[in-house]
Amino acid sequence: MTKLNKAYKFRLYPTEEQALLMHKTFGCVRFVYNKMLAERKAMYDNLKDDKEALKKVKHPTPAKYK
């Protein structure tokens, strides 16, 4: 028996206010993602020779930023 997947395609028509809010939200998400990625790359560059120290590093989540 084969399993069939269904897909639905939706299109949104936001108001100008909603579109502005979505642009701001996605802009903030992109900023936080890029900042965290840059920090992880920098940390890796600093500790790439010491694999044990790299495993012990705790990475903060974006929610912990103030």
Task: Look at phi and psi of residue 45 and say left if phi exceeds 0, alpha if psi is from -120 to 50, else beta.
Answer: alpha
pLDDT of residue 59: 65
Taking only the tens of pLDDT, the chain with its 66 residues reads 788 889 999 999 999 999 999 999 999 999 988 998 888 888 888 887 777 776 677 766 655 555
